[in-house]
Structure 1
Amino acid sequence: MSSPLDKPQIISHIQKSLNYTVFDSKWIPCSAKFVCLGNYARGTGVMQIYEVQQGEAQLIKEQEFPKPIKCGTFGATSLQQRHLATGDFGGNLNIWNLEVPGTPVFSVKAHKEIINSIDGVGGLGIGDGAPEIVTGSRDGTVKVWDTRQKDSPVANMEPGEGETKRDCWTVALGHAFNDQDRCVCAGYDNGDIKLFDLRNMSLRWETNIKNGVCCVEFDRKDINMNKLVATSLEGKFHVFDMRTQHPTKGFSSVSEKAHKSTIWQVKHLPQNRDIFMTTGGAGNLNLWKYEYPSQRSKTDSDDLAVGVAGSVTLLQNATLSTQPIASLDWSPDKKGLCVCSGFDQTVRVLIVTKLSQV
């Protein structure tokens, strides 16, 4: 029997109180720095860059903007550039050189309303193909941008004629394992999950998990689709096995009631795609491991392949706050290092131990 000492531990290494609401926090790749994005009480946006030095988070840059910033990604830029793409409350997509963050290197009015979620691929050595960014908005549309093409999106997924406009809460890019293939997953306020195939410009699959979809993430962007985790408003998450798609049943999944409240985020460990963290509305974090079944597919009575879902095990949990933990980002460079932020206006650097042993 394994003792509790053998389990991973979630340690709060640095805790920093902020004077604004922070919506997103991201590690800057290949550095000991992270960036926080949010809004001041006066209604303006803020970006702060911190460097971890001798157990402290030192503020090294701060910039104020006209609109609050909701979300950010480094995923569509090279490791040399490390430009940050952000979505704001005014529907603007901006890309920043963090060395001189006053003026964006790319800017477009991407949506009519707030950009709730952003993701990127084709940079940082993650995913083949064009350096693309996907944005999801309250205006009901999901758009894909190639920053080499100014002003207009390369793909625009919007409600069809007569369809109800749904608030898109979350987007993720994946299936970018060659120059041609790429998929976008989007989650909506009514529980809809839609998978768009960008190569064929088609809706490949859709389902509904009955509660608002707060976050979706592929376990890896740069491989043939393997797994997708979707989290919901009422504390449940679903892990879909994306390797086998049945013509009518779609993808098989396993679901888990993980938190007593909303699961705001899911983030897979960059160094092990079968380990992921979920963040809860009651200020808690849960660390999970996915176990594959002995066979990932079987044939049904019509001789068609149907996927077989695996199982999930809770490795560890921790409560950091009484307020929701709204964002979390693993360091791409140091296994077990992550940064998270909550609505208690606090950013925390965490160390998760013993991840190589699970």
Structure 2
Amino acid sequence: MGGKSNGAGIVEIYSLTGEGLEKQTEFCKKDYFKCATFDASSLRNRHLATGDFGGRLQVWDLEDTFVPVYMTTKHSQVINSIDGVSGRNSGCGAPEIVTGSRDGSVMVWDVRQKEHPVAKFLPVEGNTGRDCWAVAFGNAYNNEERVIAAGYDNGDIKLFDLKMNAVRWCKCVKNGVVGLQFDRRDIQMNKLVATTLESKLYCFDVRTQHPKKGFAYVTEKAHDSTIWSVKHLPQNREIFMTTGGAGSLCLWKYNYPDKRVEKDSDDISYGVAGELSLLQNCTLSDQPITGFDWCVDKQGLAVASAFDQTVRVLITTKLNLQ
């Protein structure tokens, strides 16, 4: 997914066969595609939600891509990031899509409601909005609770509570935030990983929030370049992969402390961060790896894409021993 030299956006669909990857079809549209997700669609209706450089959110039926099944143009600039929730899970609220844009806004969409977002978080009136680079859903463990994490070019991470329609927590990590993911979307908030420019990653324990200290976290430096993305292993939420600007992959494991919660002198609970251990690393390309995803059905099977215009299918072994 991306763009062609003539300025058009393109999506290519492949299948994995015994002989490798086989291209099934492709479709092209007016503007470059910047981001996409299947996570708001069911396993039966595999609708792909995309964000493009024209600020359009579009949802495509891959069996018929002549016109999108849903489209909105409420963003005024490129949509940098997209995430979905409740596509495969019942009892966790309505399927929704969240988008973050260069115009500084974060918007939440229900494809059953045309044109208008069901929630939006805009820059303060009169202020220039910061470029939103990353968004992620979390805390969707019932029909009422749901939060969004958003990361910005100035290093801000904001946690929006959709039930309260308010900012629940904010922290600046100094470097632009390019990747965000909760370890699971459909459980009570547990961990949130943020990746940034200047080789930094942060793992927040978001189960316990102190009114002054906020969330406990641990940080590591890796890849010697921008850490473009983070993806947790579906079969084990303590293991995740990060992708780097130098073409490298790093596999991490989060180790919990003996006690996750302590109390301060005022008898208020605060979180205690664990530790990150590097399980494995390798270099796949001499260009940044900007796309990565695990297979939910087969543990260790993954796919990665890089700026060298190559798609790679990977297998990580011995994950069951961790």
Partner of residue 34, structure 2: 70
Query: Residues 87-106 of structure 1 correspond to what in structure 2 (within 5 A)?
Result: 87-106=51-70
Runs of 4+ in 1 over 2 A off after TM superposition: 161-164
Partner of residue 117, structure 1: 81
The DSSP-based 3-state class of the residue aligned with 2:12 is strand
| Structure 1, 54-63 or 205-214: larger mean CA deviation | 54-63
- Structure 1 distance, partners of 2:212, 2:125, is 24
Q: Which has the higher contact order (CA 8 A, sep 6+)?
A: 1
Percent of aligned positions that are identical? 59
- Structure 2 distance, partners of 1:44, 1:126, is 37
Give 2:141's match in structure 1, choosing from 148, 162, 177: 177
- Structure 2 distance, partners of 1:257, 1:200, is 35
1:296-349 deviation per Cα after TM superposition (whole angstroms, max 9, x unaligned): 010011111010000000000010111000010111111111111000111101
The DSSP-based 3-state class of the residue aligned with 2:187 is coil
1:301 paired with 2:265, answer: yes
Query: Residues 283-322 of structure 1 correspond to what in structure 2 (within 5 A)?
Result: 283-322=247-286
Return 5+ residue gaps in structure 2 as ranges. Answer: none
Distance 1:161 1:243, change over 3 A: same
Give 1:132's match in structure 2, choosing from 50, 75, 96: 96
Partner of residue 244, structure 1: 208
Q: CA deviation at 1:183?
A: 0.1
1:159 paired with 2:143, answer: no
Distance 1:149 1:127, change over 3 A: same
Distance 1:207 1:220, change over 3 A: same
Q: CA deviation at 1:79?
A: 1.2
Return 5+ residue gaps in structure 1 as ranges. Answer: 1-36
- Structure 1 distance, partners of 2:136, 2:257, is 25
Checking the alignment, whether the CA contact within 8 Å between 1:127 and 1:176 is kept in structure 2 is no
- Structure 2 distance, partners of 1:53, 1:327, is 21
Q: CA deviation at 1:58?
A: 0.6
1:65-116 deviation per Cα after TM superposition (whole angstroms, max 9, x unaligned): 1111111111111111011101011010010111122221111113100000
Q: CA deviation at 1:56?
A: 1.4
- Structure 1 distance, partners of 2:31, 2:237, is 35
1:116-160 deviation per Cα after TM superposition (whole angstroms, max 9, x unaligned): 000000112277101100000000000000111000001110111
TM, length-normalised to structure 1: 0.89
1:223 paired with 2:187, answer: yes
| Structure 1, 218-227 or 51-60: larger mean CA deviation | 51-60
- Structure 2 distance, partners of 1:125, 1:316, is 31
Checking the alignment, whether the CA contact within 8 Å between 1:126 and 1:222 is kept in structure 2 is no
After superposition, the CA RMSD in angstroms is: 0.9
Distance 1:158 1:293, change over 3 A: same
- Structure 2 distance, partners of 1:127, 1:295, is 31
The DSSP-based 3-state class of the residue aligned with 2:39 is coil
Checking the alignment, whether the CA contact within 8 Å between 1:134 and 1:144 is kept in structure 2 is yes
- Structure 2 distance, partners of 1:216, 1:94, is 22
Distance 1:273 1:126, change over 3 A: farther
Partner of residue 160, structure 2: 196
Checking the alignment, whether the CA contact within 8 Å between 1:74 and 1:124 is kept in structure 2 is no
Partner of residue 221, structure 2: 257
Task: Provide the aligned length of Structure 1 versus Structure 2.
Answer: 322
1:238-265 deviation per Cα after TM superposition (whole angstroms, max 9, x unaligned): 0000000000110000000012000000
1:201-253 deviation per Cα after TM superposition (whole angstroms, max 9, x unaligned): 01000000010001010000000000000000110100000000000110000
TM, length-normalised to structure 2: 0.98
1:214 paired with 2:178, answer: yes
1:275 paired with 2:265, answer: no
The DSSP-based 3-state class of the residue aligned with 1:356 is helix
